[in-house]
Each structure stands twice: as C-alpha cells, then as structure tokens.
Structure 1
C-alpha cells in the first residue's frame, strides 16, 4: 500500500532544525494561549476571530520573551559593557511572530499546540501586519543588523521613529500604481511596550541669546517624545535587546493665549501639529526631499535618543560610585553611536549643543568626545540622494544647531587651509556650507568631519567613495575610511523563509550554519553527490509550486512551474534598470511570435517593487511592465512559454515567499550606482543564480562563488567612465540593434497601449535622449547573457550544481560577519557567544536590581 502524502503540518514537524516538541511544553503553550484569549482579548472560542487567535499566539510567544528581556537589561546593568547605539530613520522589520519563535527555539511546540487546538499556524502567521517602517535596503539592513547584534551578544539598541503609517500599500489598478496608507497599527501591535513614564522633551524654533554662561536656546516650541520598546531576541542565546521607537506627543500644557481668547476647542485641535511629526514615513528611496517635516523627524529622533543615551550613561551602576563616570571623559569608552546614512547626522551638532550649553564642556573637549563616539555609514553615491538642507530652514527650525555647524565648519576650514594653503577651490569643495545658489548645509560633509570612522557598504562602493565622492576627505584622513560589506540574517532569510531547503542542508552538515553561515562551505563537496543535488532541486520545486498557488489565488494566472522563474524585486528606480528587463521581455515575446515552433526555454518573469509617489518615470515603468504583461499573457501563440507577472505590494512578508522560489535573480544596475544590494545576497543564499553587472556586492559574490557560477554582463565601472568621456549617444545603439529598435518602436507606436498610443512616449524619449544609466549601451550584452542563462537552465543538473555552489559561498554575506567587523573595527567591542541563563534558571527574584528606569 502506498504511503499517504505528508500534510504541511507533518512536514513542519519533521524539520530537524526546529527540534521535537515536548509534550509538557505543548500543554504550557495551549494553557497560556487560552488564558490570553480569555483574559487579554476577552473572547471565547465561540466568538473569537482568526485575528484574535493570532494575537493570543503572539502574546503567548511574547511571554517567553519577557523574562529574557528583563534579564538581559539586568545583565547589561550589572556588567556595564560599552553600549552600541544604532540610529536609523528606517527599520523594515516585516513580521515578528515566526522570527521570534525560531530565535527562542519554541516553534515546534507552538506549531503542535495550534494543531491540537484545530488552528493552522501558517494562517495565523499570515494575519500579522508587516512593520513596514522603511523604504527598502537601508531599512531592511537595519533590521538584519539588530538581529545579528542580539545574536552576537552585543549590548546594542536600535533607535528610530514609530511611524503611525509605514511605507504605503501599493495597489495596481488598470496597470498603474495607486498608493494607499499603511495603517499598520489599526489592530494594535503585540510586540511593543509603551513607556509613557519616560517621555522626553524636544525643542524646535525659538532663538539664541548670549549669556554669561554662554549661548542659550530660548522661546522654543516643545513637543514630547514617547518611547515604545520592541524586543529583539538573539538566536537561542537568551539575549533580548531593545529597539526603541519614538512617537511625538503634544506637550501637556496649553498655550494660555487660547484661553484668553476662549478658544479651548482650537487649543485641543492644534495639539495635532506636534503629533504629525511621527505620523508618516517619507516614501522616497534614494531621493532627497528637503521638506521641513522631514528635518523635524530627523532632529526629533536624534534629540530624544541622545537624551536617553546620556541618561543611561549617567545612571549606570558605576555612575554614582565612581566620580570619573560623572564626567564625560569615559563617554567614548562606553558609547558608540552609528549613523545609518546622513538622516541622523543632526546627532553631531546636537551632541555638541548638549555638551556645550547644558553640561558646560569646553569646545575642544566636547568635539573630541563627539568625534570619538560617532561613526557614519554612507549608503549611496547618487547625487540626488545626498542630503543638503537649506540654511534658511535650519535657521528657522534649529537656530542653535546652525550656529554650531558654522563653528564646526570654520574650524574644519582652518584644518584644510593648514594642509593645503591657498587652495580655495579645495576649501569650497570640502566646506559643509555650499554657497552656490540657495545656501545649503551638506550633511555628508558634516557626518565625515564629525565621525571617527566612515564606511561604505561594499568593497566597490567604498573605493568609489575614496576615489570620487569623498576624495578630498580621503586625502585628508585616509585612516577614517573603511569598508563594511552588507549582510543579511540567515535566521530570517533561510531558516524562516525556506524550511525545506534548511532541512536538506541540516541533514547533511548539521545546523551550525544558522549562527556561523561560513559553515555552508561544507556543501561544496556535495555538489558531486547526485542524490543531494536532486534533494536541492526538489526543495526548489516545492517552493515554486507554493508560489504558483499563491499567484493563482492572487492574480488568477496559471504559472508553468517547470519554467525558469526570472525575478527582479526591489524599489523601482531608473538606476536599477527594470526597464531593461522589460525590453528583454519584449525581445523574447517577439522571438516567440516570429518563430512559434522554435525551441524556447519557458520563463515566468516576475517584477515587484514600489515607486516613490512623485517619481513619474518609475511609475511609467510599472505601467509599461503591466501593459506588456497584458499582451504577453493573453497571446495564445505564446501560451505558457512566457508569462509576465507584476507582484503587487512587494514587502518583507512577500519576499519570504518569492525569494525561495526564484531561479534567476536580476541585479542589473549600471556599474557604479548600486552601493551594495542585499536582495542579491538573499537570492544567492536560497539557491537562485544571479544575472548582473559588476556593481555593488555582485563583485564580491563573484569572488566567493567563482565567475563560472554567476552570469555577469555589461560594462564595468571603468567602461562606464570611458563611455561618458566619449559623449555617449543612445541613438547609436538604437540604430545599430534591430531587436532593440523594434522594441522601442512598438512601445512608442502603442502596440502595448492601443487605447492610448502616446502613453509611453516620455519613457521612450528618456531612454533615447537622456539615458543617464546607459541602458542602451548594456542591452545587447544583457540579451546575450540571458541566452546563456536559458542554455544552462535547459540542463537541470548543471543548473542545480551552480545553485549549490552559490549557497555554499554565501557565508561572507551573513550580517553576523558584517556586525563582527563593525564591532571590532569601529565600535571597539568584541562579539561573544555567552548564553545568558534562561529565566527559569535565574535563582531568586533579581528584578529589584534594575535601575529606576528600564535599560
């Protein structure tokens, strides 16, 4: 008799890396679950909704966190290690339930408990709202870093903003992007703990007066910053760090003039002005928008955070015993502040203001402490993305800080003049104050001058910073410049999102790779083991079938699961060249139409990502892809040889489904424009092959896996420079490449938009007459490389072996490795593998040892 197929639940129970559920633990989970359903949610099983069940499970899991969370803060208070403060305006956390269960090692018992209660844990997991407090790579990197810092036992804190509305929800309506607000807090957030008792004041506007004690910032408008704490568990080490997000609240007092006018109702309504500061995340990725509200957000986060950092420094266990700690001499030994891009760069003048105006330090002392405490990470070389705040705006909003910036710049100009006397052009280039046109402050220059370390996020990117963008500063301070290649957490991006592949790997080499990703190198010899190769192929096929089911349900499109899943998911931007991918779709479509009987390796091309609401070219690219999809998917001659899918509302939780199912990862930015990329690493770790340019981290990926295991095409950075020197003319490529010409003529002629033939004229004109990112120059090489991709995919065993070599070479791209380098080379701390005692191992009640505030 044939064995019955395993249910999804049984498959999950079998997965070795999650362990076996203990009976008594399952009983405990069920009991706590029912208790939360009854006492926290005030429901019984007769009226409870699936969302109630999700919250009951989330609170049950959080209960397992709380003891570890408090114990970790006690441990830091007792040991007084150097604290790491990661300042970021964005944290793209996604969902927390699965990740928390995995890091605590309780997924098996939770799964079994839900099964015994007649609930499907995967359905409950899907109810959780994504915490989308970020735009893309920068915010998701911050989330990975928090996971790694906790796993490596670092006393680290993530500080940011609790946006009421995160990155917008994207709807595709009639082939165009529509933005809808992301009301992610509508049903509450199971993971946060509000701390209203620790609210802090933040000042804006006002004026500066000179007193005998020095400058004083007066007549300011105050608002309050209320902290919300979110636990960040490390992987099975009982460490639980904190992400503290600030929410703006109106100050408690009314403006008395309203009462004199009898305008009580208006006084209450006007409280919204302050609270609007943290209302919504700015949805621009790699584009600077100089709005007052954005500057308010940046300063609000920085001002609240620095007060908190200094409070913690002063109230440490040794602060009251050791008179040295009441001074700031040891501040850089106990505090490391990492600026995630220039968004938190107001930390530099704010720290100076605190030291000068409040703590009474001399300028020299204050500056020395500030520089030794702060470090700056640069994330982009695109000129339109660099922050340059108008002086008029700073003068109005933060007058004292503008004075301090001017003083910093004046002293810095003295340093430059001393090194290069009479070189006024160099002084102009290096000044923080830009005089041409509207007077502005260059925040990247401020960040470099005010930090002891400056790093790029991939080897190529860091070299570009030294060779061009910050060349003058590198010549002045070469010792400040470092590289820290980005990474991803293997917990979320393999163990959580790809349990089938995780199990295949764990059965062969054990599970040490979960926290030591370099151990995946042990897979290299298995590339010659046909049985293992087939197991990897089976895992991929299962993931493809799952994704195909999802696409059928969401888009009513039938996907050929034996086709090559060709995927490009990232923010829509001209430099990422989704348009080049779209032109290749049209080339494939035209080839099938021309020779329907010619052998063709079937493809399903998926593109996903959001365009900034005001970025019209990016929105046109989305419209074109959707228009091409309509034609391709409804052409009976094409059939299932080629399908095009636009993945609506791409986000972390969708990435967790798409990436494990992908065969080909498109990383096709123009060389020298993508700082690093982290999506490329996620695909590599999950056994997708990369087609890409020698840009960002692709360069290092190729070094790790060998050039034979990646599809590289197009110009390198030197070729791009050479092309621009020759006065690049896109029309030369249009006239010399018949397939490319046909594509663009079809788009311009309305072939894909018969109801509005002029719909894409602007897009075609951009490519032909203002091709900033050299799409036309790389196109022929791209198509040729795609032909090679199809040839290799036609040999499944050869393709699978390349996939295994990709997985085996992924070790370098763990965020654990990245954070270890930051810790040793920038923050001056050493990661550790200390496993704190679990809460039930702690003898006696130690909660009384905590200081008066939660750490």
Structure 2
C-alpha cells in the first residue's frame, strides 16, 4: 500500500470512527462497535471489488471458485485481525488515547463468534484467511448459530453448559444480504408431474444470508463466510392467534429458528438427531442454491458448472451435498441424470477428518424418508448405478457389494436398522478424497475406505493441514513476531518458509536470551490470567506444560492427569529433591452428552484441588483447568507454552493443528508418533521432539494379540499407586465410587492404551525436565522447532488443494 493510499485510508477510518462515536456514550463497548463499523465500511468496498474481479474470470479460467461447506468456522475475534490487515492498529490506538481508552481493553470487549467448537472450525477459519491471502475466488458456507455449542462453566469441579449468547448485543461484523434468500423444504412427499418427479408439501423455511468478511493482509482481496439464518415462510398463524392460541400461532417460527440455535444439538435423542440432520440439509440446500444462482448470473447456463465451481465437503456433515445438487439439477433445472451426475462428480470433493467410526455419520432410513424423501430416492439411484459398476468391474464379489453400498442393511448383517452411510456417499460422488496428514491418509485407504481405494485408486490423496501465521503468530505473539523481524527480516510474513533460516541462528546466545525474554513476558500474561480466573497463583518461571483441545478419551487428557498424580505422589514422597517446577494447564469442552469426558474434567478439578493446596508441594507443581476454551483464550495460552501435549493414541488423531500453533510459537512438543506430529518431527528434526509411546503398527498388534491393561498396572509400582489413589477416594474426599467408572475402564478395556503408554510417557516427561534445566539449550531446541514450521502454513495447504483438487487442471 502506498503512503498516499494509507493516508487516505487512515483519514476515512478516523471520520467513520468519529461519526460512530458521536452516536453513543463513550465507553469500551461503544468504541468497539465504532471501530468495527468503520473497518467494515472499508472491507465492504474490498468485498465488492473482489466479487467483481471474480465474476469476470470467464469460462476458460484455470481457477474454479471454491465453495467450502463446513458446519464450523471458529473465527475468533475479528477487530484485531481487521486492524492488522488494514494497517490501522496504530491509527485506532492513537484515536482512542485522547478519549482515555486503551486499545487492548477495547479489543477484549469483543466476544468470540460462536460459530464452531474445535479443530475442525479453527481449520476452516485458517482456510478462509488463506483464501483471501492467495486471492482465491471462494465462499465459505456455514450456519449462523445464535448460541454456539455452549459456554462452559465449572460448578464444584463439574462442567455445566450455558447458552453462549454472543449475539445478544448484535455484531457489527455481519453484512445482511436481504436479496439473498432461498427456500428449503423438509418432509412432504414426492409426486410425478408431466413425467418429472417433484418434491412437494411438508415444511418450508427461508434461508437468509449474512456475510462475514475476512481480509487478506498483503492485498485488497477478501474472502467471504456466508452464514445462513433460518426463518419461517409464514410470519404467524393468524387464525390461531385470533383464537388466543398464541403458542400455536408461533410454533412454526420456533421450529424454523431452532435450526440456528445450537451447534451440534445433543444427538442422544431422536429429536436431537432429527434437528442435526435438518441443520445439515439446511446448510447444504441454501449453499448450493446460492452457487447455482451465482453461476447462472455469470455464465447464463448450467453448462460448465462443474468446471467453473468446486464444492468442498469439510468432513461428513455436509455430505448430503451430492444428493441435493443432483435434486436441484434434475428437478429444478431439468437436466438428465447423466448430465447432472457429470457436473456433480466434477464439482464435489471431500476431506475426511477422522478414522473414528462414530464420526462417520449414518442416518436411519426412516428419518431420511420422513425429512428428505426425494434425497433418499436419489441416493438409492446413485447407489444402484454405483453397485452395477462394481459388479461389472469385480463380478461375483457379493461381500464387497455389501461393504461399499451406500445403504447399511442393518438387520440382515449384525442387527440395528437400515441406515444411509454419509461418508460412502461423499466418497462415491467426489472426484478427489483426502486425509489431513500423511499417516491419516494412509490409514484411510488401508482401513475405513480400503474397498473404495481398491475401486478408485486415483481418487485418494493427502493434504496435510496448516495454520494461518497471520492470527496464530503475528497477532497472537507480537513480541516474538518482532524478534523474527529483527532476526530474519520481514520476508517470513509473506513466505513462512523463511523461518527455515532460524535453524542456523538457533545456537546464538543473544537470540536465545531474547527468545526466552519474549516467552517469559507471555508466561507472565498467562499467569495473570490464571490468577484472575481461578484465584490460583502459579510460578511464572516454571515449565508451562499445556494441553488445550476438545476433551475426548482418544486425545488422552486422562493420561496427562495420571502423570500429574504420579508427579504429585513423587514430590510428596521426596519434597526436598531438586524438582523442576511445572505448571500444567488444561482447557477444553466435553460434549454435553459425553459422560466419560465430563468425568475427566471433574477429575482434573479434584486433582487440582488436592495438588494446589498441599503445602509440601508449593510451586513445584500446579494444575490449572481454564474454563470455556475458545480462540481468544488460545491466543493467550499458546504463546506462553513451553511444552505442547500432543498425546493421542497412535493412529487416532487425524492431524491436529494445535500442535502446529504451539511449535510455531516456540513450544517444544511431547507427542506420540501420530497425525501431523510425524511430519512436524520430520521437518524440525525427530530429535527435537519428545516422542513416546507405541506406534500405530504396535497398537494394532497389541490389540490383535489380546490387550490386558491390568498386566501393565501389576508390573509398574508407580502406575499401581496412581490407579489405587483414583479408586480409594484420595482425590474425591474419600468417595471411593466417584471415579470407579474411570478405574474400571482403564483396567478392563482401556481402548486408547493409556496403561501401555504410561511408563514411556512418564520417562519422557523426565527427559523434558532435564532438558528444561538448561535454558539456553531449551531455547535452541525451541527455535529449531520454529525453524521447521514454515511448511505448515495454511497458505501451503490451500495451494496444494488448488493444484490437486480445485483447479480445472485437476479434473483432467
């Protein structure tokens, strides 16, 4: 940006800011709204220019417009990102100073947009950032959740869920698109009119678009997150209202609006499962109607729709897209089956994010038939044509036909009811399917998708995840970013690969000292946050050992807690030993219906209560569970971490992106040989990571031979003492039953092999202690970690998607 452009932008911003502040009493909230509104006016101009440029790209363009469908987009706070992208951070700080306001205080007033929960949503947000940075014609499509997943509170050590009412004061970042409205249908029936099958009747809702604009940092391009808000077609039932039946008059409105209330409604009930399926169908239908309408405006006909547009499914949640696209092309636009299927196969691609069978969604046929009868017909037809092709390719293999069918026949083969397999639909309809780390992609084709990989060997590939350095380094860690500028120059800001130059400099004493000073400042900030939120005083010079992610058994927060107990017991037994002080930080939400995950959270709090209050321990060990984990909290925690816990059972974590953010910010990693940990170790040097535990092949072998976790407990005195303490009520005020479910599961089942990995985990934590004693050597190791992280930019990830999946050339 030229000096003249910057001056003009600053002047326009100041004028808009003054106009906004003139309309409201001055405080941090009004300053936040004023700054956001002023930024949005600039971004709106950039949005219009971006859309105009993309509309002119023409039918022969090599780059297709990408439509990224995801149930989650965990965007975090928007003002800081917008200010940084527009170069207005100092301008706003200067404008606020005479008003007696600090920029940091104003930024803190913005709530996180509650549009996601975990890594899936944070990845999607990183991708939007890279779409803008790389100038990729694109739309992200999601739902406008009013209350997010939930706001996590802690009462007597237990998780409690409350609505995350982030929209209660509105949000200045949304741009309503009143002209962008589509009707979505549920229920009803299929009729034949003039030889054409039509879906009629049932419940109709309107999808209204709201846009969230994501700016590039090194150009005037922006990307768009288009969120759908549901409302009823009919305002009220006036006859019911006149009868005095006010509840009945409004019932259909409530049913429509419920689609946007909560991310991932509790699916332990039929009502919850039905709402979740309706949410997914609502997202898919509105998004694809929008895509088709835009394509017709730009090109005039549906010819070439698949070559001009890519539709990407972020996990199985939007896997209904192929059936809905077929319905729209067949029923609404009169294409033949072959024409519609050719377009669908060109357009659709799918990223799988998990090997967990429970996450590969299936839906009962009865529910599908009740809510989406026309889609079920289309899925039957897709399945029949697909199976006919399989029969022709591999005649006589009836077992294969059963395994690859889009319909799980249930009662004839293992009980249960017949179900639609959504991951299978996504694979069959997509021209490209990928995993998100090399090990995960390899396991996909060896396990859950083995039969499909045999049928379509060229369809499967890997694209390892990445994270945006704009939010997860430049914004989250300005002190370290400034140090990188001083050490490397500013080239790393546009090409993260420049970080590789740090490797040769990592041994410099001056750089190590400066790095440790930046890290200490970040640790001081986190220590203050812990004291403010928990009333817990921690030693800011201790080793900050951090695990922040969704609470789930396979992510093994429980293994982390078992180590805390073991360390606590060892300290109590020998308090005078030369212990390396350690502060263990855990954060994450458990799904509301996930009893075991919630019990793990309760255990963490009970262990923290005992450990943190024991005078024999002092500041040698502290455990802090920070509630309501989200993007903004992560931006405080990650730059402060010394040690990153990435300890999933080998073969269960698809990729991880938290591991990348920690390493990028100078944390060393203790981790299993799993997910993207493997590629990180290969890039930074395997010896620079604290690797422990069984590898995937050993996990499979030990399970095949008949795993007995009790043997590991009987052979390890330290582990036995930990399990005994869980069972005898030592951390439950003498209640021997509180954690009986955890003890029983560990001793009898232990699906995720905590008992098998415990000894190596504890031994490796000992190696961490010894390494941390030598602060210069630790700093050198951490800097080498950072040097290896250039490849893990989401810009590289998106460039690979463009080359292999989203370009016209990828269709050849």
- Structure-2-length-normalised TM-score: 0.96
Matched, 1:105 2:84: no
TM-aligned CA deviation for residue 260 of structure 1: 9.8
Report the equivalent of 2:361.
387
Report the equivalent of 1:375.
349
Report the equivalent of 1:5.
none
Q: Distance in 2 between matches of 1:263 and 1:691?
A: 61
Q: Distance in 2 between matches of 1:236 and 1:829?
A: 26
The 1:559–1:264 alpha-carbon spacing in structure 2 relative to 1, beyond 3 Å, is closer
8 Å CA contact 1:458–1:675 kept in 2: the answer is yes
TM-aligned CA deviation for residue 21 of structure 1: 13
Q: Distance in 1 between matches of 2:498 and 2:569?
A: 45
8 Å CA contact 1:432–1:441 kept in 2: the answer is yes
Of 508, 515, 534, the residue aligned with 1:536 is 515
Report the equivalent of 1:498.
477
Of 274, 286, 290, the residue aligned with 2:256 is 274
8 Å CA contact 2:266–2:272 kept in 1: the answer is no
TM-aligned CA deviation for residue 709 of structure 1: 0.6
Q: How does 1:573-652 map to 2 (within 5 A)?
A: 573-652=552-631
Report the equivalent of 2:17.
33
Report the equivalent of 1:4.
none
Q: How does 1:424-435 map to 2 (within 5 A)?
A: 424-435=398-409
Q: Deviations over 1:675-705 (max 9, x none)?
A: 0000000000000000000010001001000
- Structure-1-length-normalised TM-score: 0.91
The 1:158–1:728 alpha-carbon spacing in structure 2 relative to 1, beyond 3 Å, is same
Matched, 1:562 2:541: yes
Secondary structure (helix, strand or coil) at the match of 1:270 reads: helix
Matched, 1:53 2:31: yes
8 Å CA contact 2:728–2:735 kept in 1: the answer is no
The 1:590–1:262 alpha-carbon spacing in structure 2 relative to 1, beyond 3 Å, is closer
TM-aligned CA deviation for residue 766 of structure 1: 1.0
Report the equivalent of 1:358.
332
Q: Distance in 1 between matches of 2:50 and 2:482?
A: 31
Of 119, 123, 132, the residue aligned with 2:114 is 132
Of 381, 398, 403, the residue aligned with 2:372 is 398
Report the equivalent of 1:483.
462
Matched, 1:148 2:130: yes
8 Å CA contact 1:223–1:249 kept in 2: the answer is yes
Gaps of 5+ in 1: 1-16, 320-325, 832-855
Of 55, 61, 71, the residue aligned with 1:77 is 55
Q: Distance in 1 between matches of 2:314 and 2:268?
A: 14
TM-aligned CA deviation for residue 196 of structure 1: 2.2
8 Å CA contact 2:437–2:654 kept in 1: the answer is yes
Of 384, 387, 390, the residue aligned with 1:416 is 390
The 1:593–1:422 alpha-carbon spacing in structure 2 relative to 1, beyond 3 Å, is same
TM-aligned CA deviation for residue 329 of structure 1: 2.8
TM-aligned CA deviation for residue 254 of structure 1: 5.4
Of 436, 442, 448, the residue aligned with 1:463 is 442
8 Å CA contact 1:286–1:385 kept in 2: the answer is no
Report the equivalent of 1:778.
757
8 Å CA contact 1:249–1:274 kept in 2: the answer is yes
Between the two proteins, the alignment pairs up a number of residues equal to 801
Q: Distance in 2 between matches of 1:29 and 1:406?
A: 56
The 1:25–1:474 alpha-carbon spacing in structure 2 relative to 1, beyond 3 Å, is closer
The range that moved more, 273-282 or 534-543, is 273-282
The 1:669–1:284 alpha-carbon spacing in structure 2 relative to 1, beyond 3 Å, is farther
Report the equivalent of 2:167.
185
Q: Distance in 2 between matches of 1:493 and 1:499?
A: 10
8 Å CA contact 1:288–1:387 kept in 2: the answer is no
The 1:214–1:260 alpha-carbon spacing in structure 2 relative to 1, beyond 3 Å, is farther
8 Å CA contact 2:150–2:262 kept in 1: the answer is no
TM-aligned CA deviation for residue 357 of structure 1: 1.2
Q: Distance in 1 between matches of 2:744 and 2:408?
A: 33
TM-aligned CA deviation for residue 29 of structure 1: 4.1
TM-aligned CA deviation for residue 432 of structure 1: 0.7
Report the equivalent of 1:3.
none
TM-aligned CA deviation for residue 474 of structure 1: 0.3
The 1:29–1:116 alpha-carbon spacing in structure 2 relative to 1, beyond 3 Å, is farther
Q: Supply the RMSD in Å over aligned alpha carbons.
A: 2.2
The 1:27–1:360 alpha-carbon spacing in structure 2 relative to 1, beyond 3 Å, is closer
Report the equivalent of 2:413.
none
Q: Deviations over 1:89-132 (max 9, x none)?
A: 11111110101111222222222222233211111111001012
Gaps of 5+ in 2: 411-415
Secondary structure (helix, strand or coil) at the match of 1:274 reads: helix
The 1:261–1:407 alpha-carbon spacing in structure 2 relative to 1, beyond 3 Å, is farther
Of 189, 204, 211, the residue aligned with 1:207 is 189
8 Å CA contact 1:631–1:752 kept in 2: the answer is yes
TM-aligned CA deviation for residue 27 of structure 1: 6.0
TM-aligned CA deviation for residue 135 of structure 1: 1.7
